[in-house]
Structure 1
Amino acid sequence: MTAGLPLPFADDRILLNLAAYWSARRVEDAMPLRSTIDPLDMPRRLLPFLALAEPTGEGQVVRFRLVGTELVQRFKRDATGKTSAEIYSGPYRQHMEQLYAIVIGRAQPLYAESTQRWPEEGMSRVRRLLLPVAADADARRVAFVLGAVSWSVSAAPAKQPEPQLIPMQALEKGVLQATFRGMLDAL
């Protein structure tokens, strides 16, 4: 956690803004509905870092319905319309599919970090926030996963942190604190 704040991404404007957007669309203790998620209502600078994925029903494979322009440019491929099986391979595919499977299976937000080497700038800290979205009010199952990815130049940590499920209360508290700190963009 960062400086006593309840979120491990409390210093990340992209992930905080996604958390605030998602949280504002929740009804009571339920996850938001797909019909309430509209990229046109999001802070503009968030859109390039977004991904929207859905389970395919084929094990842990997900299909990417939307991939932001910064992600396309950074990862040098447009995964829109493609499955995780088509774009990932080996242990990285297993890791990514497992992250999505946790969110889908638990219907709970998940934060994950990794380190990646980029040809242009060297090592970067890559941060992901994955958030569950229901198909409709009657559905308790996750129909989509709304996510964002951010990165910053950083030395590789001694040990890669484990993915963390984020309790709804911690997410709400972190969003409130981010609001007070002026970390959120206007919707």
Structure 2
Amino acid sequence: MTSPAQERLLHAAHTLFSGRSIHRVSIDDIVREAGSTKATLYRHYRSKDDLLLAVMRWESQAWLHGFQDNVARLEPHPARQLLVVVDALAGGWARPGFRGCVLTRLVLEQADPDHPAGQVLEDHQRRVREYLAVLARRAGRPEPDRLAAELHLVLEGAALLAGVGRDREAFSRARAIAGQLLGDPVYGEKADGA
């Protein structure tokens, strides 16, 4: 549970961290954006790093719920939901101004490879793979954990190319690759219209 003051601080920090480099966002910027005070920020978060980790956990949770909701909206039948994971991802990320996964960008900005932000990203990626494995099991696919790892790699690659590389075709190619992994050529052929 977070208080309204924490929600405002998280939202403000998320907006600023997502739009600029972490190192270009000051505590003053965050409290100004949140309409808060430094005393309130430090009552809830010991440091900027503590706030960064909270923002990353919040982003991870929101992203995963949004992804799951997109999958369920695109394909209500649980056994067929695996067939829409690329579309669910593209729907949320293939938009103007998309700069790639916020969590990945925040981790890459850290100079320290042992920064705790890396663990938050690893936890997020594990949860995504677990969700994909659940979908693979529902679909009766053999080796669901392997398939989930392969699909996750395709999704991460598409997000990176679309965000950082500004590759507008990344999700179409990802859909074709996913179609091959799933043994569903029709899935891959629908890439242009998805």
For normalisation by structure 1, the TM-score amounts to 0.27
For normalisation by structure 2, the TM-score amounts to 0.26
**Structure with more relative contact order (C-alpha pairs < 8 Å, separation 6 or more):** 1
Q: Which has the larger radius of gyration?
A: 2
Question: Higher strand fraction: Structure 1 or Structure 2?
Answer: 1
